[in-house]
Amino acid sequence: MESKRQQKFAGVLQQDLAAIFQREGMNFLPNTLVTITKVRVTPDLAIARVFLSFFNNTNTQQALQLVKSHSSEIRYKLGARIKDQVRVIPQLEFFVDDTNEYVERMDKIFEKISKEPRQPDDEQQ
């Protein structure tokens, strides 16, 4: 369970990282929209786990590796934005948020189930 302080700090990080990716993301991920879906922060606020969702990109693992290779640059730009609000700029760890893929997969399963003929109820004995 995250404290209010962690949640508030994670919200600030999410907004600032979203702005950074919106302005600077095209430099290292052209034609890809990057969305920050969730940010989780450790209790000491030293590590931020950032969950990303990639749109208009077929290879999410390659995109994630590209973001990880630019993590020091992203952290520097984040530091310039939040330097007056925190003592230490957190280390950034990036992960793929596959919630959308999971939802699509579940939708396909439910659609397949709904198309199958129903079995007759054998409650009468």
CATH number for 86: 3.30.300.20
pLDDT score of 8? 93
Other beta carbons within 10 angstroms of residue 105's beta carbon come to 11
Q: Confirm whether 124 is domain-assigned.
A: no
Q: Is 11 part of any domain?
A: yes
Amino acid 121: pLDDT: 63
Question: Would you say residue 53 lies in a domain?
Answer: yes
Torsion-angle region of 80 (φ positive above 0: left; ψ -120 to 50: alpha; else: beta): alpha
Query: Which structural domain range is residue 76 located in?
Result: 4-115
In a domain, 64, yes or no: yes
Domain assignment present for residue 15? The answer is: yes
Query: Per the domain annotation, does 123 fall within a domain?
Result: no
Question: Nearest-5° angle of CA 63, CA 74, CA 88?
Answer: 135
**How many Cβ atoms sit within 10 Å of the Cβ of residue 4?**
7
In a domain, 73, yes or no: yes
Number of domains in the chain: 1
Tell me which residue of 50, 58, 59 sits closest to 90, measured CA to CA. Answer: 50
Residues 6+ apart with CB under 8 A from 95: 49, 50, 51, 52, 64
- The confidence score (pLDDT) of residue 57 equals 81
Instruction: Retrieve residue 69's tokens.
Output: 């290779």
Q: Is residue 122 part of a domain?
A: no
pLDDT in tens, the chain (125 residues): 889 999 999 999 999 999 999 988 888 888 888 889 999 999 999 999 999 988 888 888 898 999 999 999 999 999 999 989 888 899 999 999 877 777 778 888 888 888 877 766 665 55
CA angle 89, 90, 95 (to 5 degrees): 140
| CA 89/CA 80 separation, integer angstroms | 9
pLDDT of residue 116: 75
CA 23 – CA 80 distance, rounded (Å)? 14
